[in-house]
Structures are given as structure tokens and as C-alpha cells.
Chain A
């Protein structure tokens, strides 16, 4: 314990919303963690938002309700928040600042780590090479997630991105190697938080999940800590405990809004859409904490979920996220309207590291070819649909009409999946093949002849698509 931690400052100049302005302090820095004791003995926590001469502005995580300025004792820890790290986190459900929500004792750890963390040294990064299979067919087959990758899900309000995030968190595996999931929910409604708890109960009971739930009514400063705590816990599980860890963070737009709110409270000059000018570097400081480290076991893979306000992909949050991350999974309202789950917009989705984690020796020999052919055929099907809108289906050539059948088979047979159904990669690729075989063999030019022979591709496939 540092000497400064033992001294409690008692002079409160004012209480303003969730902020406490403490007077007479010395040697206080930004982001320091604060322990606040009330006259009643109640314990609260806070973070220094601003420090100027002998004044410190502290945002109280639990809020300032019921606080009497005469009975507030603030002890500054001398450093940003540190959390215990270790396997004790597995199977626990905690709030956004790591406090237990599941009725258990606090989480203990043999060590503590600063939640700010530090991105991995680029020189020590190990290139990604193995997949994380999510059990979601369309994602695994078309935008394979690779260990150590950061792959965001871009969605819009009203789409089932939380279901998809929860499904991936519940099902993902790393080919039988030790695997854990850290799920950081930010700004969730209570209904959503309860849905996530139910969906992940099985994995939590199996001791493979850390669940951090920051609800919409929790203080915004806690929302800024939540992903950092999640990543700190994940880093220890990965690089010390030798596990492959998937960190699901949802919803990053809510996180960015919390950042904006805190930035405004600090009086910073607003940049694009009033987000702070450092939004890019702040997001990077989170996303870049994923990866693999040379000479160390385990990996941290990050799957941030963000909603694009009004579906605007140029909005600062998706825009800046897109600069940092390695691809994106885009959800589409149009596909959702056709009753397909997950409503993936396959043509806008991309995993830049897919080639490093899929294909011969990693997933299946034909994986990359099938994925490329599925997307190429889908792109042509999209053109044909546009053409059909202009000239009518009757005017299409027989081959073009096959593409419309293909698109239907792609959506119904390949992409569509129940939200509680784990689908293995073999099944997904076979379904992909079935969709492709609705097209004449001559159209499957991206697939090698021996594979086409093995799957019985014909020049005039049967009209009916088996489902």
C-alpha cells in the first residue's frame, strides 16, 4: 500500500452529478483509481477525470446519490485501476468494474495487473495461423476468424447482433485446445443482460467464461473500464495460463458514446461528431491488445460488436474501427428481412487474415476455393437480381435464372442457421457445395476439376435444390 493510499482527503468542494470535486489534494494524476468511504462506512469507487493544482475531479462509479459533502473521505490509489488476474475469473459474472454480480465473493488473483495494459510489442508478435471456429457456418466458411485477430461485427439497431455475439461466445472453440471466452457487455439493457446470461449459462458453468455486464444505467466511466478489465483478464488467461481467449465486446458504439461523455466532462475540444479527437488511438489501444506473442502460449482474439447509427458505415466509430481491425462482419437489414439468421451481408464481409487460418493443413483443403466460389457466385447473383428488376425474370437467360436459385439456396440452405445450433465447418462447407451445385458446372470456374468431379457437378443441374 502506498502512503498516498492511506491518506483520505476530506474536503469536498462540490458534488455535481456523478462528479466529486475534492480540494486540498497533492500529487494526483489522471485516471487514478479512488476509494471513497462515506461517514456511514459505505464504500464507493471512482476515477480521477481531471486534476488541477490542489483540485481533483472524481467520477464516482456508483454515483453520488446520498453522499454528504461533509462525510466523504477519498483515498487516491496512486495508479490507475488494477484488477486481480488469474483463473478465478472463469465462471464468474461481474459488473463492468469487476465486482461480483453472482452472489460470490470478490474475484481473487495471485497477481494484479493495471487495466490500462499495453499493446503487444510489434516485434514480438507472432503471425496468426490457426482458426477460431465460431460454430456459425457463414462466419466460419466465409470470414474465418483467426487466433489473435481483431474482427468487428458491424450492425445496425434492430438486427440480432447480440444474439450472434452470444452465439459465438457460447459455441466458439479452438480445435480442442484450452479455450476461454471473455464477454464484455457495455451499455446493455437489463433484458439484454439477462438474455446474455441465459445464453452463456452453459459455458459459464463449464468454467470457460468470464462475463462482465455493464448495463445502460451504470455510470459511463465504468463503461470505459469494462473492455479494459476484460482485456486485462484475457491477456493473463492467454499468455500466462496458456489458453486461447476470445474477447467479445458489445456494443463498442455505446463505449464510444461513454468516452464522448467523459471527454465532455473533462472539457476537451470535441472532434468529429463531438467524439474526442483521440477516439482512434483510444479504440486502437483496445483492439491492438489482441494477438499472439512469440515464445508464449495462448492467444487473444477480439470480436468487437458495434452498431452503426442510422446504418452509416462512415460514422466515426465503424470508420475508425475499420482502420484498425483486420476485416469486418457486416450484418444486413435486407437479409434479416428475408428471415435469414445470421443476417450476414456476405459480400461486404471480409476477414483479412482468413488465408492465414484456413485452407490446407488448417481447416479443409477445399475451404478457400469454396469460399471464393460462394462469394463470386453471390456477386453475380446480385447483378442478376438487379438485371431482373429491370427486365423481368422471364427475360433472363437460363444460366442467369440458375443464379437466382443459387442465391436462394445460399441464403436458405447455407447461411441460415438456428441461434442455438452449433454447426461444424464440414457441414457448413457441404451446405456451401450444395448451394454451388445449383449452378451449371461451367459457372464454377474457381473450383478445381477433381473437386467438381468428387461432388458430382453437372452441366445441367437439377432444378430443385435439396434443403
Chain B
């Protein structure tokens, strides 16, 4: 029995749906891959943009925080500077008051009242150290009395200092209204 020769036309026709289907499937695959690639690309771009936005946002926040820190540091320094100037000025005023007070009290020495003041101071010294105390004139005016192991300084400068120490809050009137 002889095999009939293949009918190419018929085979071609018969394979045509397969070919079409393969082609369609290939196109569909390609399109799906393309779509997926586009989707992934879009997603990546989106993600990258979001990350970029986050980085920029974070950098801005960090920058603002650094700026705020730096501004606060500057403010703190400026306040400290201003405060130390105010306090230094007050101290200078206070020391000037002490100097002036010592000068004025020392000025008593050149007046007629000094003899009476000195006598009172001497009496006070003997009261504190006993009648045997050795009393001498202080170079700044007033007296210094000595007894064995004890001493009383009733010089005019020491008296002025002690009077100022007792003034307490009144001194504040130098810089407060």
C-alpha cells in the first residue's frame, strides 16, 4: 500500500489556528510582560520619588532642627552675655559703693568729731577685750586692740565694711528703681 503524498495545503490550514493561537499567546505574553515592566517601572519611579521626598523631608526637618538648635544656642549665648554684663555692672556699682563708703567714713578722721569717735571706739575695744587690752591707732583711722590670743579691729574701714554687710537688700536700690 502506498502512502499518499502529504497535502501541504491541508496541513498548513490545519496548523493555522495553532499558529494564530501561539502568536496571540506570544503577543499576550509580550504585552503582559511589557505591562508588568511598565507597572514595575512606574512603581519603582513612584517609590523612588516617595523615597526622595522622604529624604528631602527628613533633610529639611533635620536642617530646621539644626537651625533651631543653632538659633537657641545663639540666643542662650546672647542671654548669658547680657546677663553677665548686667551682673558685672552691678558688682562694679557695689564695689564703688564700698570704696566710697570707706572714703567717707575715713573722712571723719579730719573732723572735730573724730576725737569723740575714737574715744568711743577705744571704750568699746576695752569692753570686748578687758581693761588690760593694748589699744593702738589704725593707719586708716579708728583703733585696733590686742590682748593675748585675741584682737578687735575697730578701724574705720572695718566699721564701714560691717555697716555695709548689714545693709542687705537696701544695696539693691543702687540698680533698682
Could you tell me which A residues sit within 8 Å of B by CB distance? Answer: 1, 3, 6-11, 23-24, 37, 73, 84, 86, 88, 91, 100, 102-106, 108-112, 198, 201-202, 204-205
Contact = CB atoms under 8 A, between A and B. Distances in A.
A8 B147 CA distance: 10
B86 to A, nearest CB: 8
Interface stretch (B27-35, B41-49, B75-83): B75-83
Contacts of A102: 83-84, 87
Contacts of A198: 76
A112 B168 contact: yes
A7 B151 contact: yes
Contacts of A104: 86-88, 90-91
Contact of A88 (B72, B154, B169): B169
Contact of B87 (A1, A37, A105): A105
B149 A108 contact: no
A10 B149 contact: yes
B54 interface: no
Contact of A103 (B91, B151, B153, B172): B91
Contact of A105 (B153, B166, B171): B171
B146 to A, nearest CB: 8
6 contacts: A8-B150, A11-B149, A23-B149, A84-B169, A102-B84, A201-B76
Contacts of B94: 105-106
B2 interface: no
Contacts of B129: 7
Given A108-B170, A108-B171, 17 more contacts: A7-B128, A7-B151, A8-B151, A10-B149, A11-B149, A73-B151, A73-B153, A84-B168, A86-B169, A88-B172, A103-B84, A104-B88, A105-B91, A106-B94, A112-B168, A204-B83, A205-B79
Interface of B: 72, 76, 79-80, 83-84, 86-88, 90-91, 93-95, 128-129, 146, 148-154, 162, 166, 168-172
Contacts of B150: 7-10, 24
B74 to A, nearest CB: 12
A100 B76 CA distance: 20
A104 B175 CA distance: 12
A110 B168 CA distance: 6
B124 to A, nearest CB: 8
B169 A3 contact: no
A87 B95 CA distance: 21
Contacts of B72: 202
A1 B171 contact: no
B151 A108 contact: no
Contacts of A11: 148-149
Contacts of B128: 3, 6-7
B97 to A, nearest CB: 9
B132 to A, nearest CB: 14
Nearest to B88: A103
Contacts of B88: 103-104
A111 B129 CA distance: 30
A198 B77 CA distance: 9
A109 B91 contact: no
Contacts of A73: 151, 153
Contact of A201 (B79, B95, B149): B79
Contact of B152 (A8, A91, A110): A8
A108 B172 CA distance: 7
A8 B153 contact: yes
Contacts of B172: 88, 108
B76 A109 contact: no
B169 A24 contact: no
Contacts of B86: 104
B57 to A, nearest CB: 16
Contacts of A201: 76, 79-80
Contacts of B168: 84, 108-112
A10 B166 CA distance: 24
A100 B128 CA distance: 33
Contacts of A105: 87, 90-91, 93-95, 171
Contacts of B153: 6, 8, 37, 73
B76 A9 contact: no
Contacts of A111: 168
B149 A9 contact: yes
B76 A202 contact: yes
A105 B151 CA distance: 29
Given A3-B128, A9-B149, A10-B150, A108 B169 contact: yes
Nearest to A202: B76
A201 B166 CA distance: 31
Contacts of A3: 128
A91 B83 contact: yes
A7, A100, A102, A110, most chain B CB atoms within 10 A: A7
